[in-house]
Structure 1
């Protein structure tokens, strides 16, 4: 009778466990009232029953007519009761900057997540992201503009290379105008029209755009620097028109105009000034050259220039075919180095020594996935055979996922860092012995 009861319990558990599958949630913040150029946060959370057996692989994706900034900050860990079952959760946040009005759709993507389906049994699930959309627009008062510049603060400043006094014909002065917009991309700041009256010629230089971002990839400000040289061709009284730039104030929801006032100055006559086009000189008679053979006329091009040109084309062809391959190899080497087991272990040690519980747990799962592929946490602890290390990892998990914990600050990771180093050192010694020991029966 007792054996029959145990079999029935096992059958019931086998029927209920498959229902405990990973759950993904995603949302845009804000979801409405979004303006072009303003950041939209995409918050993605993945929940699994029991615990994670490795680090989730959040996708990288692009949205048409928008800039997507991938998660830069460490993920957020949490736990939640869903249907009477305790789920562990990890949350990542993307930032989306719409570049023009219209509807924006989250592309099809999925999260790969390893988790304990029925401890100690583990599984890997591929959970798709939900279909989400948002709409970005421009206010009615700004629809007639050729551009839309939404920000909370905008400044426009100018400076001259010399005072606009005692100018004479033939002089030139340089004007530099700087526009700075808070939490705005510099590429969205439009060029300023610089008009000049008759008698002044303007030479504009290439503008300089600069974006200042936080460590999380969010824009602090965008800055556009526009320079031009004004060449005074003749004496007279001049007025440079005012420069205006319209922008949308997000604090007051109104259209504002930033203005540089008109500038007036006088240029005096300059008797030493030479006109741009000097008078045409008398033609100088040129001796007629004797006609020679084609070989004597073009032998330099045939002997020197033509081979050099062919060699240049050949070198250019080699570079065109080789540089992309070299660049890809360098990228692959850099990616492999940044995602190597020593790099992951170094990050894990750093988090443990700083006692950052959430960061240490996430980096421990990443390192375990690379150092021991396919090995769940409990199997790693069994092979390590280190009671202190097992206790420290259990304390770390309890500080994050226990129901009534007092916060991650209670956990101290110094001992965990020390025992992880000892374990890794022993494993490396064993690996070297296996590599260098000779075969017993060659």
Structure 2
């Protein structure tokens, strides 16, 4: 009979303890290795996307305390790619063995026209933080690791070139004025507005502006804007194109087609703005401009007037002398005397007679003229014998006869007495 050897459990305790320690190390060491540490991490949730599609990316900053001021990032340039900042950072915290780590997450949107694998280079992040909730502020600078993103080009889209990828794209156009019969030189303004969901205005396709015979095209600088509401990203691109009609005739503005890839339905969609046809008439012929030669006749006039103004005194003297030759002063004085006599005005007659004597000191006088002059003097300087009014018709007739028939008149060298 063989006896059994007694069991010795205490001898196995060391091996059991070693297995337990190994198990604990296996469970807790990976956790400690994956614990959050201060730094910067680039996170791209989607490793694959369509060309032209919005790809959200995040940069997570970790620090031992509260973040101070705003973080800055050195985004490297990637060919055919645009990266824009979206919204405000989101704050959170993580706990590592009783130590709290503060996390600040920044969202960006990536739009790329590339296809295939794209390596996102490291990004340098700079920020300031405290250790804990309060205390001195420390500046930190970290670099993310590079990440590879795969972009797929939709099938049958190679001929489109620039590709917009969106679930919804609306296109509107307005004209000022509306196209119709125009005159050469008229101006048309066309405004095209594109709005796309999950897109930025920068990544929307520009409207083409081909050369059109007889029409000059002037595209203005486009206006782009983005709106973010409750997680919905809406991009807008507004373009204004000015057309100047330079030639008369029939003109056609070609249609404009916009194509995009719908990632939800995975189909190519398009919208076409129809072609515009209108006629332009020649402008009316402007009236002929009057020739400046028609004013040449003014040149001699101006010259004559200038000379007349310069020599006005000499001209006035010459004209006066010519007038005296044509109509001598003696003859004018004789007419004035006759006119005064016929007006039966004794005072005017005496004044005219005295003026006449200045030109003819040796007066040829007749008997009748002497008698009539005596009556005139008596009327002015003496007491008339009768109260009848004086009439000068006889004096005027006697004076005319002495002028026309000097042979019948007596020559006197002295004037008649004023008071006989």
Which category of TM-score, normalised to the shorter sequence, fits these structures?
0.3 to 0.5
Q: Rg: which structure is higher?
A: 2
Q: TM-score, normalised by structure 2?
A: 0.48
Which is richer in helix? 1
TM-score between both structures, scaled by the size of structure 1: 0.46
Structure having the higher strand fraction is: 2
